[in-house]
Amino acid sequence: MGRLSGKVAIVTGAAKGIGAATAELLASEGAKVMCTDVDEAAGQALADKIQNAGHLASFMTHDVTSEEAWEKVTAETVRAFGGLHVLVNNAGIAPEGHPIEDMPLESWRRTLAVDLDSVFLGCKYAIRAMKNSGGGSIINISSIMGLVGTPRSSDYNAAKGGVRLLTKVAALECAEAGYNIRVNSVHPGYIDTPLVRGVVERSEEASPNEMLGLLSMLHPIGRLGTAMEIGKAILFLASDDSSFVTGSELVVDGGYTA
Ligand code: NAD
C-alpha cells in the first residue's frame, strides 16, 4: 500500500522540473494523477511514462491562468478518477528581471497571472471538489523569494509572497468550515530544473557554469536542490503523515534563508 493509495491528485506544470518529479512520486505512492501543463507533448510523454511504470496517470492541456480551464480540469478529474484529494499548484514562470523603475506593466501582470492568479483559481476549484470527496490537501509552490526580497524580481517576489498568505487564508477558511482540507505552501531554494537553467543561461554577469557555482554557494549545503527533493516535501504534505499541518510554510532550501 502506497502512502496515497485511493487518492486522486492534480499536479499543474507537470511536464517538467518539479512538477514532473512530483507527479511520478505521487503516482508511485498509489495516487491517480492528472498531469496538466501548457506543454502538451512533454506533458503527455510524462503521463505515458508514469503509466508504463504501472501507475495511473492522465494528461490534460491546461493554462493555469484561465478560470474556464480550471473548471474543466477539476470536473474531468473528478469524472475520470472519482474525486479529488490532492492539488499541487506548481506551474509557474520566472521571467526576465527588471528593476521596478523599468518593469513593463505587461510583464508584471503576466507573472502575477501565471504565478498567483493560478493558485487562487486552483484553490477555488479544488476546495469545491475536495469537500465533496471527504477532504484533501492543497500544496502551493511558492519560493524562498516569497520569504525574502531579491532585487530586479518584484513581480516574482510579489507573486510568491502572495502565494504564502493566500495559502494561510485558504487553510483558515477550510478549517473554519470543517471541510477536512489542509492547505500549505512549499518554499524551494534554487532547484536544478529547466526554469533555473533558463535563468542561468540568460545571465549577462557570468557564464552558465560560473552562475551555477555562484547559485550553489548561496545555499549553505553547497549545491542546488533536485526536483525530487521538493517532490518528497510535497508528498509529506499530500499524505496523512502531515495530518496536523495546515496554513504552514515548508522551507526546502539547503539553508538559503537560515
Ligand atoms: P519549469 O520551468 O522546469 O517547469 C514549469 C512548468 O510549468 C513547465 O512545464 C511549463 O510548461 C509549465 N507552465 C508554465 N506556464 C504555464 C501555464 N500558464 N499554465 C500551465 N502550465 C504552465 O519550472 P520548475 O523549476 O519546475 O518550477 C516549478 C515551480 O516551482 C514554479 O512555480 C516555480 O516558481 C517554483 N520554484 C522553482 C524553483 C527553482 O529553483 N526551480 C525555486 C523556487 C520555486
Cβ proximity of 174 and 181 under 8 Å: yes
Is the CB–ligand 1 distance for residue 188 below 6 Å? yes
Instruction: Output the pLDDT for position 214.
Output: 95
Instruction: Show me where the domains of the chain are located.
Output: 8-190+226-252
Choice from 11, 12, 18, 150 to test ligand 1 binding pocket (greatest atom count within 8 A of CB): 18
What are the residue numbers of the active site?
156
Q: Name which CATH class applies to 8-190+226-252.
A: alpha beta
Q: Which atom of ligand 1 is nearest to the CA of 190?
A: 40
d(CA 158, CA 173): 22
Sites in the chain below the pLDDT cut of 70: none
Tens digits of residue pLDDT in 103-144? 999 999 999 999 999 999 999 999 999 999 999 999 999 999
d(CA 96, CA 71): 30
Q: Which atom of ligand 1 is nearest to the CA of 19?
A: 26
Tell me the average pLDDT of the chain: 97
List the residue whose alpha carbon is closest to atom 6 of ligand 1.
13
For β-strands 86-89 and 136-141, DSSP reports them as parallel
| ipTM of this predicted structure | 0.99
Choice from 70, 153, 193 to test ligand 1 binding pocket (greatest atom count within 8 A of CB): 193
d(CA 187, CA 144): 5
Tens digits of residue pLDDT in 77-110? 999 999 999 999 999 999 999 999 999 999 999 9
E-strand ranges in 166-244 read 181-188
